[in-house]
Structure 1
Amino acid sequence: MKDTQILDLRGLNCPLPVMKTRKHLKRMTKGEQLVVKATDPMSAIDIPHMCQEDGHVLIESKMLDDVRQFTIEC
Structure 2
Amino acid sequence: MQYDKEVDARHLNCPLPILRCKKALNELQANQVLKITATDPGSKKDFDAFCRQTGHTLIEMQEAEGVFTFWLRKRSQ
Shared fold per TM-score greater than 0.5: yes
Unpaired segments of 5 or more residues in structure 1? none
Q: C-alpha distance in 1, partners of 2:8/2:31? A: 20
Aligned to 1:55: 55
Q: Percent identity?
A: 35
Aligned to 1:31: 31
Q: Cα deviation per residue 1:24-46 (whole Å; 9 max; x = unaligned)? A: 11121011100100000110111
Within-5 A mapping of 1:1-74: 3-74=3-74
Aligned residues between the structures:
73
Cα distance in 1 for partners of 2:61, 2:32 equals 17
Task: State the alpha-carbon separation in 2 of the partners of residues 30 and 49 from structure 1.
Answer: 20
Tell me, yes or no, if the aligned pair for 2:5 and 2:24 is still in contact at 8 Å: no
Calculate the aligned-residue CA RMSD, in Å. Answer: 1.4
Query: Structure 2: any 5+ residue segments left out of the alignment?
Result: none
Q: TM-score, normalised by structure 2?
A: 0.87
